[in-house]
């Protein structure tokens, strides 16, 4: 039997999907064929925040429901927080390093960049946190695959870019990182660095061996935090959960205005079994402290 794995056609998506395919083949002995699916996000050059949440996953989910493919691999941070009837996240493999990374000209770090340096990033979360640092830098929105973004630094069109470290590692480009950004300065997007293996509900048990318990719990807490704030992946919301050896979760969350003038950061702890509740409670704490004024919602 050959299982069909749906994936976007970008180099990063293909690399991530091939990693999962190799692991499925190792664990099950089944052959896995990659099937490229073009999404609405791939066809547009508009900023992600204009395209909306789920723009990179809806076509893959349609292919799952129509049985064109058997399962799909997503960058978990691209998934809307609401699920889809008939589909399930069968596995969340072990997470790659979730931190953000700076790639700058001449090997520079963030504080070494000269006054007026221009940093490219497509994420409002990163733009907001860079602004909150108060450094004499400017940001510009960018789209495109990782190679396209790196090229903008190589040809000096930009002084630097900020990307997820996980993507650079998976593409074998980690040696181009000039600084890994401390989460105290740049808190990642919820579920950054994690993959979601999604399938129809009748396929879940076959893929369950790929699941990493600690990663799933951490991502569950982060996404519950995001869902409770009623924000999408392009909103100025950040979160990172870390799991201890004692099966406890330490969750940090932040809401930052896009101009960086307002930043609210809080944390909570709990057990793996209570991961979702930890996320909801931390979001409630932030809303109580005024996060709704940034998000434009009411508590």
Residue ranges of E strands in the chain: 2-7, 31-36, 71-75, 87-91, 100-104, 118-120, 138-140, 160-164, 179-180, 195-200, 237-243, 248-256, 263-271
User: For tokens 């940093």, what's the residue?
Assistant: 119
Helix, strand or coil, per DSSP, at residue 232: coil
78 is catalytic: yes
List, in sequence order, the alpha helices (H) in 94-208. Answer: 124-132, 146-154, 165-170, 204-207
User: For tokens 């791939």, what's the residue?
Assistant: 42
Helix, strand or coil, per DSSP, at residue 270: strand
- Which member of 78, 100, 159, 274 is catalytic? 78
Measure Cα distances from 23 to 97, 205, 207, 284 in Å. 19, 15, 10, 38
Nearest partner of 249 among 290, 228, 212, 220, judged by Cα: 220
Nearest partner of 55 among 65, 43, 63, judged by Cα: 43
d(CA 5, CA 59): 13
Tokens of 190: 């919820």
Tokens of 191: 């579920």
Measure Cα distances from 202 to 80, 130, 236 in Å. 22, 44, 36
Measure Cα distances from 11 to 144, 169, 205, 218, 233 in Å. 11, 12, 29, 26, 21
Catalytically active residues, by annotation: 78
């Amino acid at each position: 039997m050959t299982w069909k794995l749906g994936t976007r056609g970008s180099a990063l998506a293909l690399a991530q999907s091939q990693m999962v395919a190799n692991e499925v083949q190792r664990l099950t002995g089944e052959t896995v064929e990659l099937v490229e699916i073009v999404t609405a996000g791939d066809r547009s050059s508009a900023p992600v925040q204009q395209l909306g949440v789920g723009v990179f996953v809806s076509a893959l989910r349609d292919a799952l429901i129509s049985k064109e493919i058997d399962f799909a691999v997503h960058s978990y941070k691209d998934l809307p927080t609401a699920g889809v009837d008939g589909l399930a996240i069968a596995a969340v493999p072990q997470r790659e390093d979730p931190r953000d990374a700076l790639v700058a000209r001449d090997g520079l770090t963030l504080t070494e960049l000269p006054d007026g340096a221009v940093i490219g990033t497509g994420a409002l979360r990163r733009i907001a946190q860079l602004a909150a640092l108060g450094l004499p830098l400017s940001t510009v929105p960018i789209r495109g695959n990782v190679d396209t973004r790196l090229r903008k630094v190589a040809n000096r069109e930009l002084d630097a870019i900020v990307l997820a470290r996980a993507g650079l590692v998976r593409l074998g480009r980690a040696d181009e990182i000039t600084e890994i950004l401390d989460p105290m300065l740049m808190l990642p997007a919820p579920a950054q660095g994690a993959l979601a293996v999604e399938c129809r509900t009748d396929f879940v048990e076959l893929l369950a061996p790929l699941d990493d318990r600690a990663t799933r719990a951490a991502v569950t807490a982060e996404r519950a935090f995001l869902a409770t704030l009623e924000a999408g992946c392009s909103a100025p919301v950040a979160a990172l959960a870390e799991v201890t050896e004692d099966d406890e979760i330490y969750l940090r969350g932040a809401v930052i205005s896009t101009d960086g003038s307002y930043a609210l950061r809080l944390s909570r702890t709990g057990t793996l079994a209570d991961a979702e509740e930890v996320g909801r409670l931390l979001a409630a704490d932030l809303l109580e402290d005024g996060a709704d004024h940034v998000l434009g919602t009411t508590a």
